[in-house]
Amino acid sequence: MAKIAISVKVNGVEHTAEVEPRLLLVHFIREALRLTGTHIGCDTSHCGACTVVLDGRAVKSCTVFAVQADGREILTVEGLEHEGKLHPLQEGFFQEHGLQCGYCTPGMLMTGFAFLNSNTAPTEDEIRHAISGNLCRCTGYVNIVKAYQYAAEKIREGGTQ
């Protein structure tokens, strides 16, 4: 299959590659760039384990072709920590026991990153709707909501986002 040249900035680093037009963004991230924090959990855009932030918006990278990311900027879970300092969401998940098996966690974090960009004082109901496209089978969501609230408070107090 003919390949197409793309150029994508991922976690601040420019990458160029020749990819098949059918290559999914999630496979590009995981297998070409070897950033395996972004996971795959379903085939139908329901579980959200593959969520990354594309030009500031949370997208499910299993439903985006790599070629669609050409010329754009992506943030994955590996890009959340900044100069050795955890993002407030990462801190929140750790402090509030917001994860168990850890498989949905990167997607939950990236959805949260985009969400808290637009809303740093969310209600519980707003948080629950924000993560309704991310399935977690372990935690029952209670502590994920708390992790978001923890992060929102940190961000309001001037923590980095």
Positions touching another protein (CB under 8 A) are 20, 22-23, 27, 30-31, 34-44, 46-47, 49, 76-78, 80-81, 86, 90, 93-95, 97, 99-106, 109, 124, 127-129, 131-145
3-state secondary structure the chain: CCCEEEEEEECCEEEEEEECCCCEHHHHHHHHCCCCCCCCCCCCCCCCCCEEEECCEEEEHHHCEHHHHCCCEEECHHHCCECCECCHHHHHHHHCCCCCCCCCHHHHHHHHHHHHHHCCCCCHHHHHHHCCCCCCCCCCCHHHHHHHHHHHHHHHCCCCC
Minimum CB distance to another protein smaller for 37 or for 74: 37
CB of 110 to another protein, least distance (A): 10
CB of 111 to another protein, least distance (A): 11
Minimum CB distance to another protein smaller for 9 or for 71: 9
Minimum CB distance to another protein smaller for 71 or for 129: 129
CB of 130 to another protein, least distance (A): 8
CB of 67 to another protein, least distance (A): 14
